[in-house]
Structures are given as structure tokens and as C-alpha cells.
Structure 1
Amino acid sequence: MNRIMPPVKPRAGSDRSNTPGGLGTLLWIGPRKGNRFRPAYDFCDSHAAQLAYRTDLDAAARRPAAGVNSIVLCLEHDSARLRRPFTQLRHKYPRAETALLMGPLCAGQRPHPSEVLGTPGIYWHEWETFLPSLLVRCGLIPRMRRAARGVLIVASRRANASALLAIAGSGTVPAMSCRPEQIRTVRNVQQVWWDDSATSRGGWEDRLRGSGHGDAEHVWIVGGVTPEQRAQALNAGVHQVIAKPGDFSPLLGRLRSLALEQRQSAA
């Protein structure tokens, strides 16, 4: 059973967005204590201009917050029952960016919570890479080391991304996946790996232009590609085309190069 810790008294004015420039409120829903969620919560509490805390989605529905620009929903497990209340919450805050902060039990869920709830998911151990970008609209003032940029896998379904996630997870570089329509909500991305399930419509120039990751390296992993399709992708700005099934060692090489680059930057 999901254990929700009782709330503490919120900071004065924490439910109001009254900071200069219209900086909004971060709405945090779910657990905030323990080794998995506490570091991320403490960071948000210190860096967001305004923070509203709710123990669960029912509490968030009963006690609306004002000026919400970003929403973090913490998940320990059992996301299926949250689909309806979370959808209702998103309708209440249509302009807010949302993210799931997922505990270790979420990794084995099928379907994946990000598919069930239609929102990008961040695993608890990768919050430093992906979560700070969600706070930009809530008054984030960077006061910690620059977050490492990671690998984003774009696929039509979580099942299509699973093999690439396994490869990306073999290294030390943070990795996550999303559907094509979610790609602009993800930040701190240095490489984008496109599964061919996400590239069946449209051309590469429009796809890359609309991705919001023009400075990232783009890789296309595709089965049955023709020489003409390969040339079109490379001419449009794709950095590498890798055939599947086949040798995925170039992806491992990319992970090693990215990890080395990050270590040198941190030195």
C-alpha cells in the first residue's frame, strides 16, 4: 500500500504566485521524504519561487493552488488508478508543465507510468538531470553544479524504447524516453536516439526543427532503411543512421564519448 507521509505546515504564501515577472508556483504532489524523493523535494523547496505541497491527487483537487506553472507527481507504484484524477488535474492547470518523479518499483510496470498518465517520467536517481528544467518557470536560480546532459530515446511506445533504454542504461549517462509529442517537454538532452516507430510520418527537416533540441546530436535507429532514406536523414541534420537488427556498438561508443566529455567538463 502506498504510504503517504503527513504534510508539514507550508511556508507562508506558498500557494500564491506573487513574485515579480509572473513566476509561477510549483505544485508537488505525493511523497517528499525518504532517500528517494527527499533530495529532489529539498532542491525544489529551495529553488522554486513558490511551492505548494499536496499529499496526493485527492488533496490537490480539494485544495487548488494559484499560479501553477509546473507540477511534479511522485509515484512509488500503482499508477493505473491515478489516470482519471491526474487527467482532471491537468485540465485544471492546462498551461502547467508536468513530470512524473518515479521510484524504483515503477521500472517494472507495464504499461509504463508515462504511458498511463501521458506525461514524461523521471526516475528518482536522475532528478538532477531533468527536474531543474521544470523549475525555470517557477523562479529557478541555479545554485548547484550544472546538471549532466543525457540521452533521450524517442519511440511511439515504451515497448519500442525498451531495447534502446537497456543499451543507454548500461553506461553512466542519464537516459529517459518519451513519445514524439512529448519531446519538447524534456530538457538537458545531449543526444536524441530516434526509434523508427517514431519517424513514420513527416520529413526529417521538420522533425528536427520541431524537436526543440537543435543543439543535440540526433541518431536514427531504423530497420529496412534505403540508401535514399539514409541520405535524406543525414542531409537534414541527423548525425548517424544505425540499422536494426544489427550492430549497436556505435551506440555504446556514443555513451562512452558522452561520459568522457562530461567527466572532463566536471574536472
Structure 2
Amino acid sequence: MTDQKLDHGTLLWIGGRDHREFRAAYEYCEARAAQIAYRPHMQSAIDRSARGVRLIVLCRQNDSSAAQYAMRKILRRHRTAQAVAIRGSLEIASGRRPYQNLNEPLLPEWTDLPTIEFHQWDVQLPQRLRRCGWEEMPAEPATSIAVIAANAMAQQTLLSVASLHQVPTAAFRSAQQAQLAGFDQIWWDETATAGKPWGALLQSAPSATHRHTWITSDQSLDHHQLAKAAGVENIVIKPGSVARLLPNKLQRQAEPLEQATTNNRTWPAAARQAA
């Protein structure tokens, strides 16, 4: 949850800012935070204390027994700071969160640490920068939404979400310029984009006024970069919360829909994560 008042504290960044899974998040924060203190690892964060820390971002490629004790020291030193960990692909693949060792107790400073998966940082991290002097401006509200999905189940799921915007919506199995001309936002489901180059896809919607969102289970950073280079503005990873397709003021209205999609294989609720 964000603070009501904009703060101008220091962001303490711990871990690999040059790693390809964390670089974009670091560059984003560096360009916006009032002040950023970079420490390459936990021990350096302990040895070189930063001042005025209001937010701690920890990059985790893997966990360890020693890490939770180091995190306890860091959090006790910066008692007024919030902390979050960005999980890299190795830790995600290990299936462990947090470090599991039956011979050692788990510290609450580790088990209660909020986490963000590396491919979702741009959804969850920006709102936390209020503590460091930057506030994300709300996106322009949608005036109309076109859903492009190759099967009826995917179409219905996304149309249900789009209906909460209370603007004209329509669904198509494929993109054609004449169909999309009047729409403000275009939501591309992976069923309609699989195996197709983004350059060719977006030629069917060439208007500069279109805002494109890709809804996909593809977590490849290379594929995300290709999509964004072609003109895709937002990438929403599924399984995940459908609320991420909505502005903040509408996200609470998505809660009943979250329950309704429990058995929908297009957006599996069993693996949903909070927005």
C-alpha cells in the first residue's frame, strides 16, 4: 500500500543492477528516485550504511541461509523503510520462497518480505517510489477497447474485464485495420499473437492513437523487448490478477471477477498473484 504523502527518502538498491533481469527496473528507479544508494550485495549494505532510507529493493537470484540474517540486520538499521525483493528466474525455478532449511528457523524478516517476480516489476514497483519522491501519473482512461483473441474462452475472459471500464468494447479473432480504426486500446491475447512477428501484427493497427497491451504467459525478456520495440506499451503476464488490466480506482471491482474465473484455463486463478 502506498503512503498518502509523497516522501523524498533514499532508495537502497541491493544486488545486481547490471543483470539483464534487473537492469530495466534499476534504470527506471535511478531516473525517478530522489536519491538512490546502490550496494552490490547485502554485506556491502551492512558495511556502508545509507542515510534516510525509505525503500529497500533486494534483487534475489537465489536465496541462502545467511541471507535472512543479513536482511534482519538491514531492516533493523532502517526501521522506517519498506522493503521488497525482486525474484530472479533461478529462484523462481527453484520453487522455493523463502529459503527452506529444516534445521534452521525462518525469520519473519525473510518470510514476510513482499516479493515481485522479475518480469512483473513494472506493474508493482512504480507505486512504491512514492517513498522516494516520485509518483506515477495515472494513465489516460480508455475510451474504447478491442480484444483480439483466437478462441471464445480467451475473448470472454478479457471482455469481462474490459466491461468494467464502462466503454465500448468488441472482440475479434484476428486484427484487421478497418475493424480497429475506432478503438483507443487494443488488448492482444497470446492466442492471437503466437508465432507472429509484432511488426506484422501492429501493421494492422498503425494508428498512433492506439495503446497496445499484450496478455501472455511468455516470460522471455527477449520477447518482451521485441514487443515493446514494435510499439506494445504494456505486457500483462498470466497467470496473474485480472485487476492489472484496470486503473487503480477500478481494481476493487475486479474482485468478483477473480472468483468467477477460478476454473477458466485462460486465466488460471490457482496461480494468481496480487496486483
Q: TM-score, normalised by structure 2?
A: 0.49
Q: CA deviation at 1:250?
A: 3.9
Q: Show structure 1 runs of 5+ residues with no match.
A: 1-20, 147-167, 178-187, 192-211, 220-237, 256-267
Aligned residues: 164
1:121 is aligned to 2:111? no
The aligned residue for residue 91 of structure 2 is: 106
C-alpha distance after superposition, 1:5-33 (max 9, x if no partner): xxxxxxxxxxxxxxxx7510000001100
What corresponds to 1:24 in structure 2?
9
Letter in 2 for 1:59: S
CA distance in 2, matches of 1:108, 1:76: 10
Aligned-residue offset at 1:89 = 1.0
How far is 1:78 from its partner? 2.6
Who is 1:41 aligned against? 26
In the alignment, the residues of structure 2 paired with residue 214 and residue 144 of structure 1 have an alpha-carbon distance, to the nearest angstrom, of 12
Following superposition, the deviation at residue 124 of structure 1 comes to: 1.5
RMSD between superposed Cα atoms in Å? 3.9
User: For residue 53 of structure 1, what is the aligned residue in structure 2?
Assistant: 38
Name the CA distance, whole Å, in 1 between partners of 2:99 and 2:25.
19
Residue of structure 1 equivalent to 2:236: 173
- Shift in alpha-carbon separation, 1:252–1:189, aligned structure 2, 3 A: closer
SS in 2 for 1:100: strand
| Cα distance per residue 1:202-243 (max 9 Å; x no partner) | xxxxxxxxxx99842465xxxxxxxxxxxxxxxxxx55656x
Summarize the Cα distance change of 1:48–1:95 in structure 2 as closer, same or farther, 3 Å threshold.
same
Contact 2:55 2:131 in 1 (8 A): yes
Partner in structure 2 of residue 67 of structure 1: 52
User: Given the alignment, which residue of 185, 190, 194 partners 2:243?
Assistant: 190
- The equivalent residue for 1:249 is 263
- 2:62 aligns with 77
Distance 1:97 1:138, change over 3 A: same
Larger gyration radius, structure 1 or structure 2: 2
Cα distance in 1 for partners of 2:132, 2:268 equals: 34
Unaligned runs of 5+ in 2: 1-5, 101-105, 141-214, 219-234, 270-275
189 and 28 in structure 1: CA distance in 2 versus 1, 3 angstrom threshold = farther
| Correspondence for 1:134 among 99, 124, 128 | 128
Q: For 1:140, what is the secondary structure of its paired residue?
A: coil
SS in 2 for 1:40: helix
CA contact (8 A) 1:29 1:72 kept: yes
Q: Take 1:96 and 1:67, find their aligned partners in 2: how far apart are those partners?
A: 9
The Cα shift of 1:47 comes to 0.3
**Identity over aligned pairs, percent:** 29
Task: Output the TM-score relative to the length of structure 1.
Answer: 0.50
Output the CA distance in 2 between the equivalents of 1:126 and 1:29: 18
Check whether the contact 2:14–2:39 (CA below 8 A) recurs between aligned residues. yes
How far did residue 142 of structure 1 move? 3.6
SS in 1 for 2:58: strand
> Which letter maps to 1:139?
G
2:238–2:267 CA contact under 8 A, matched in 1: no
